[in-house]
Amino acid sequence: MEDLSKITCISDFQQLARRRVPKMFYDYVDSGSWTESTYRENESDFQQLKFKQRVAVNIEGRNLATTMLGQPVSMPVALAPTGLTGMQHADGEILAARAARDFGVPFTLSTMSICSLEDVAEHTQAPFWFQLYVMRDRQFIEALINRAKAANCSALVLTLDLQVLGQRHKDIRNGLSVPPRPTLMNMLNLATRLRWCQGMLKTKRRTFGNIIGHATGVDDLGTLASWTQQQFDPTLCWDDVEWIKKCWGGKLVLKGIMEAEDARHAVDAGADAIVVSNHGGRQLDGAPSTIACLPAIADAVGNQTEIWLDSGVRSGQDVLRSVALGADATMIGRAFLYALGAAGQAGVTRALEILANELSVSMGLCGVRDIQDVDRRILLDPARFDR
C-alpha cells in the first residue's frame, strides 16, 4: 500500500497524476475551452475572498456534517459527475464511488462514464446519483432513466449546459479517444505510464459502458463517435426538464445554472437542488467564475431549493467560502480526479481527508464550530462578488 501521508494538498495529487496518467487523459481533466480564462478564474476568484480571523472563541468539537437532498453527509461535498473517470485509473468510477461511500459523501456517475450504471451498483452496493445528458434519442434517455432507477440511484443530476460542445484545444491536439488510438505518439507516452497500462490490462472496462450496446446502432467505438456528434440536443428547453422530472419521479438536480433568472426557472421546474456550474470552464470561455455568480443566485432563490457550487473547488477553504456566500454544499471534479489518477481509491479517500481537515481548521480559525453557522460574516468585504 502506497504511503499517502506526505500528500498534503490537492495540488500534490495533481503533480503525481501528471506523471502517472497518459497525457491525453490528464489533459482532458486539466483543461478548459478556448483560452481557458474561465477555467483559471474559477480557481483564482476564490483567492480574492479573504477570511476574518477570530480569536479567544471556543472552537472545540467542530461539526462539518450536514445534508444534501435529505441525505446525511460527513461534509458539504459531493463527487461531481465527470466523463472518462475510468480512464484516469482502471475501474475509476467504481473506486471513486467506494471511497465516497466509505467517507460519507455522495458520488455522481456520469452518462459518459467508463464503468456502467450496473457495474457501479454491483460493486458498491450503496445508492449513488446519476448524471444525465439530454440526447436527441428520447427513447435512449428514457431507457437510461429506467436503468438508473433499477440501479437504485437516489437522485438524477440533469446537466443543462452541454447542448453544444465547447472547443477544447488540448483534446483536439491530442486526438482524444477511448481507448487511445495506437499512434506512435500515444504508444511512446503509454510506454512511460506502465502502472496505468497494467491496470487497464486487468480490467474489461475500457469504453463508454452506459452507451455501447445500449444506444440503437452503437455497437463499437467506430459507431459511437458518429452517434455522439449527432446526439447532443440543441433544442433542449424547460419543457424537456419537466418531461424528465416526470419520467424520473425522484429527486432532481439541475446543473449548469449561472444566472439568477435561470435559477428561478429551475425552481419553477421543480428542482430539488441546483448546481451553480460553468462545467469547470470547459464550455463557455469568457463566462464568469461560479463563485462570482453565487451570491446573486443565492439572493434570487433563497431557501426555495438547495444551492450547490461546482467548478474551481480545490480545497476545504474553497468549500468554506462557497458556504459563506450562500451555497448549501459543493461538488468536486478535478480535485478527486487528480487523486484517483495518482493513487486510485486510496487517493480519493486521502483527498477527501485533506478537504475535510482544511475545512475544519479554517472554520475554527474563523471562530465557527458548526458548518450550519457559516455565513458571509466570516468573510472580509464579500460585496465585491455581488452582481
Considering the domain boundaries, does residue 369 fall inside one?
Answer: no
Q: Tell me: the pLDDT tens digits for 273-326?
A: 999 999 999 999 999 999 999 999 999 999 999 999 999 999 999 999 999 999
Q: What is the mean pLDDT of residues 345-356?
A: 98
Task: Assess contact for 100 and 74: CB atoms under 8 A.
Answer: no
CATH number reported for the structural domain that contains residue 263 in this entry: 3.20.20.70
Considering the domain boundaries, does residue 371 fall inside one?
Answer: no
Q: What is the pLDDT of residue 8?
A: 98
Considering the domain boundaries, does residue 53 fall inside one?
Answer: no
Q: How many CA atoms lie within 13 A of 95 on its CB side?
A: 26
Q: Could you give the residue numbers annotated as active site?
A: 279
DSSP β-bridge partners for residue 362: none
Q: Tell me: the pLDDT tens digits for 111-139?
A: 999 999 999 999 998 999 999 999 999 99
81-91 burial string, b = 16+ CB within 10 Å, else e?
bbbbbbbbbbb
Considering the domain boundaries, does residue 189 fall inside one?
Answer: yes
pLDDT grade for 229, boundaries at 50, 70 and 90: confident
Considering the domain boundaries, does residue 59 fall inside one?
Answer: no
pLDDT at 382 exceeding the cut of 70: no
Q: Which pTM was predicted?
A: 0.95
Considering the domain boundaries, does residue 114 fall inside one?
Answer: yes
Q: Tell me: the pLDDT tens digits for 165-207?
A: 899 999 889 988 888 888 899 999 999 999 999 999 999 999 9
Q: What is the mean pLDDT of residues 36-48?
A: 97
Looking at beta carbons, which pairs linking 302-306 to residues 24 or more positions away fall under 8 Å? 304/267, 305/266, 305/267, 305/271, 305/272, 305/273, 305/274, 306/68, 306/69, 306/272, 306/273, 306/274
236 vs 114: CA distance, rounded Å: 25
Q: What is the pLDDT of residue 117?
A: 98
50 vs 215: CA distance, rounded Å: 49
Averaged confidence pLDDT in the chain: 94
Nearest to 144 by CA among 214, 232, 217: 214
Q: How many domains does the chain have?
A: 1
> Containing domain of residue 137, as a range?
10-48+64-364
